[in-house]
Copies of this chain bind each other. A is one copy, B any other.
Amino acid sequence: MIQGILHALIMRQLNIGMIGGGTVGSGVFHAWDRNGGLMSSRLGVKINFQKVAVKAFDEPRPYPIPRSLMTTDWQSVVNDPNVHVVIELVGGTGIAKTMALESLKLGKPVITANKALLSAHGEELFAAASRYGANLYYEASVAGGIPIIKTMREAFVGNRFTHIYGIVNGTCNYILTRMKLEGAEFADVLADAQRLGYAEAEPSLDIDGFDSEHKIGILASLAHGFWVKPKDIHVEGIRHVSKQDMQFAGQLGYTIKLLGIVKQAETGKASARPRVQVSVYPALIPNTHVLANVNHVFNAVFVRGDVVGDTLFYGRGAGKDATASAVLSDVADAALDLKHGSKDRVPAFVPHQPAGAVMPIGEAISRYYVRFSVVDRPGVLAKIAAVLAASKIGISSVIQPEGHEGQSVPLILMIHDAPNAAMQKALAKIAKMPVVKAPPVMIRVETLE
């Protein structure tokens, strides 16, 4: 406390040490170079770049960083007594963790954009931040251009979060948008996205949903006050979404988006541990909803609070500039917190009491779109409907395009609210029927109501 007060009295300049001088790092430096003066005047604290640790002085970077600031020794940045706050932008969960912990141990606040690090080691880092009285700021870790973490923790502090639906992976949204607008197949658009630099050569982190998993885990944790572990999050990617499904969804008035989903489950008992669905999967959402109109690489997070109602936040999720904006927002908070000796003003993480738990996906209830490949023969729909009815699963609509007797044709069913486990069980039964010619494709439907 006293140290904080003393610090506050002398705090007129914040010296930044940054680790990482590649694309994002140079983006942060460039944004500061352009707007640092304005930012300093807005904050009443001079923001200064003290030192930048880089992999190599001449590594490719979109904006230059002055040679005089650069070093290849990250420890000299962390240990520099003139460095007040450390920005970690190296990525990964290995050395990045060491860098963050070393900084925190010295009482230096850490700013990070590293969602993988938080997802894997969040609890350990938050504990270290608390122990050493230094804060951890991570606005840039989820949807850089969207200040969703500040919004949830500060602007919506008076709310309980009943629903969160996030389009938090730009690569997937780009692919799904083009599949929709061009009637193209997944594999073709992915190849093109890779050529254009919108998807990695090894695209699994994005298209199999793991990047979304990291981000939605952070938002779920902040919303519900217990740290959600990656292993508890049900994750499906978009590889199985076909052009056909996109088209049938369109006919039904829906768009398919990859969503990170956090839903507070209804619990009968007030005394019970709150249970929350935390998942990543592609879902049909109504075309008329504003979330369905978030296209290309843009991200959006739809948040429903019990007081504020429905809200949505839209912007670029990644890229050096959107990320730089979020890092500068954290720099500002760190500067003000140091200036005022209020390092723990908004702690890195605040657990709620009682702690909640993630609901197993089998118990999660949703609607479903199911596409079967069936033999075009009278009575097929009746047989499938009978299996569903036996599991108390209701059909809300059917699309059965005309085909030729004996051919394999698609049959699309829209299914009323049903628990996931019951649905999976019924589909497994149907898949074994001789008239069913391929494994059924099941995509959840989120009405956002």
Spell out A's residues near B (CB within 8 Å). Answer: 1, 5, 9, 31-32, 34-35, 38-39, 41-44, 139, 144-147, 150-151, 153-160, 225, 288, 290, 293-295, 298, 305-316, 319, 321-322, 324-326, 328-329, 331-333, 336, 339-342, 345-347, 350, 352-353
Is A308 a contact partner of B321 (Cβ separation < 8 A)?
yes
CA–CA, A266 to B42, complex, Å? 22
B-chain residues with CB within 8 Å of residue A39 when the two chains form the complex? 157-158
Is A154 a contact partner of B353 (Cβ separation < 8 A)?
no
B-chain residues with CB within 8 Å of residue A42 when the two chains form the complex? 153, 157, 225, 350, 352
Per a CB cutoff under 8 Å, which of B144, B150, B160 touches A35? Answer: B160
Per a CB cutoff under 8 Å, which of B5, B151, B288, B314 touches A290? Answer: B314
Is B157 a contact partner of A147 (Cβ separation < 8 A)?
no
Is B155 a contact partner of A31 (Cβ separation < 8 A)?
no
Is B158 a contact partner of A307 (Cβ separation < 8 A)?
no
Given contacts A308-B145, A315-B309, A315-B311, contact A31 B321 (CB under 8 A): no
Could you pull out 19 A-B pairs where Cβ atoms are within 8 angstroms? A1-B9, A31-B158, A34-B307, A35-B307, A44-B350, A147-B154, A150-B150, A156-B325, A157-B328, A157-B329, A157-B332, A158-B331, A290-B293, A290-B314, A311-B315, A313-B313, A313-B314, A339-B342, A340-B342
**Shortest CB–CB separation between residue A314 and chain B, in angstroms?**
4
**Shortest CB–CB separation between residue A159 and chain B, in angstroms?**
6
CA–CA, A324 to B309, complex, Å? 11
Copies in the complex: 2
Is B308 a contact partner of A322 (Cβ separation < 8 A)?
yes
CA–CA, A331 to B347, complex, Å? 17
Is B150 a contact partner of A324 (Cβ separation < 8 A)?
no
**Shortest CB–CB separation between residue A300 and chain B, in angstroms?**
8
Is B350 a contact partner of A41 (Cβ separation < 8 A)?
yes
B-chain residues with CB within 8 Å of residue A316 when the two chains form the complex? 308-311
Is A35 a contact partner of B340 (Cβ separation < 8 A)?
no
CA–CA, A446 to B348, complex, Å? 41
Per a CB cutoff under 8 Å, which of B32, B150, B159 touches A158? Answer: B32
Per a CB cutoff under 8 Å, which of B158, B333, B341 touches A324? Answer: B158
B-chain residues with CB within 8 Å of residue A350 when the two chains form the complex? 41-42, 44
Nearest residue in B to A146 (C-beta to C-beta)? B311
In the A-B complex, the 8 residue pairs with the closest CB atoms: A158-B328, A147-B155, A340-B342, A308-B325, A311-B315, A312-B314, A307-B325, A157-B332
Is B311 a contact partner of A156 (Cβ separation < 8 A)?
no
Is A154 a contact partner of B158 (Cβ separation < 8 A)?
no
**Shortest CB–CB separation between residue A144 and chain B, in angstroms?**
8
B-chain residues with CB within 8 Å of residue A9 when the two chains form the complex? 1
B-chain residues with CB within 8 Å of residue A32 when the two chains form the complex? 158
Per a CB cutoff under 8 Å, which of B290, B326, B341 touches A340? Answer: B341
